[in-house]
Structure 1
């Protein structure tokens, strides 16, 4: 810096050389030591002072590799120092700043040292995290597949169980139907056997009213020869004097002449059924008890007749019924 005050004696003033006369001046730490109390140039160490742009490039590279950057893995941000003012050192400050800018640009273009290591470390951590995420996704997909298979197996088991149940129910129903049919058949057979036994037993207790006969008129036949307009009994045509027998054990309650019926015997059975023997030629028993098959009279042609025959009527409660059906119900073959 030039001064306007006069120089002391004995000292020759020399004009300060210009930048062209001295050449390019690049001050060092020793030559650029600032006066006490003034600003001090901070020495940058190991390339830690990098611009925010360089740091951003490293962080973006790490995030791009890993996909996720956590706060605890984020590198410490290095703060760059601002450009220092010129303290009368000529253009050297600007030149140093330019030199520093060139070095920073080169470092930004090609990160080295700690930044490169941190970037590589984040890349490895990101790859590890991606691998863990993929492994977790595969595990979840495997669990979902296992659950789907389990559900499918459970559904198949339930369907098989339902089908087996339906088959068992169908088989049980078929067995029940077969058993019911067998029981019904057995019951019908037992009833038929019981009926046969009953008829056989009754056959021993009942007897045909006569023998050597021919059925000429049946119950319900219509004609003018009967006063009611229809036949009320069963006619056994047989020669006169053919024995007339008691069809079952009972009591003779009436015996004698009865108009159009001629000589008639009324045999009352134990259940109250009345058997009428009509058109008899003679009466052997007129009162008292008789047994099945016992002769109580003889076939004749008395009363309103056209020839010798036994007119047999079966009455119960004052009403007539078919003698043929009644005799067959007692096990007799007429």
Structure 2
């Protein structure tokens, strides 16, 4: 059975010289008439455009498929494909021949249009890809800037916390130093107050009460008048003992005159002070004598405490005698207003 399909543009189909199942086919002017009109380039979903050349190849494939379907009844047909121009030739509009029997000018224009459309689609896709890449870079840069801002904020917070801790530590240290200084100042003030009080007490004790004064200072009373013991020749103590370190000043209890000063056996070095009313004050066991004669005033130093004579340690043995008889020195001193 003979086919009435016109031959595709640009394709030369040759029948075998012998008649087959189809019979003899003689091409005529109508059968070989070129296809009129322009091939349209349709935009596919994948973003690709087909040119007239692609459509031509599709027709060839269809014809080949039909031939395979009727291979039992039809003889083999020799198909020759025209040489296709290269892509630069299509883009630049090269009007080289499209093969035997082809329409070079019209085919080149259509192909260029397809190439331009394909390039437009590819350019749009490239622009979209570039836009997406720019957006990704901008997003990456923004993420990096946000991360850096967070890191800077964390570092600033850490530095602020460290500075705050340092300030608190410095404040605590200053507070501790201030408290220590206050405590030391208070202790020094209390010590000075106590020293002043002790000094005032000593001055008060040493100061004559009226016209009378204590015989010495910084002392301890050890033996009183009338105490009994084998240490005294009479069996009883005849004076009042003021135990004090050697060298402690011995003072006149009242104004008077020195009537005797020197060594006196068991009394050691002794000074006798006679008061205006005839009362005698004996200073015994002295280590030294500052005044040995003449008038003296109340509170004046006349000798130094010692341990000479019959003693067991340094002390001032004070006796009060009137009319040759001894009397209690403690009672006499207190009667003069002295706090012994």
TM-score when normalising by structure 2 = 0.39
Provide the TM-score with structure 1 as the length reference: 0.40
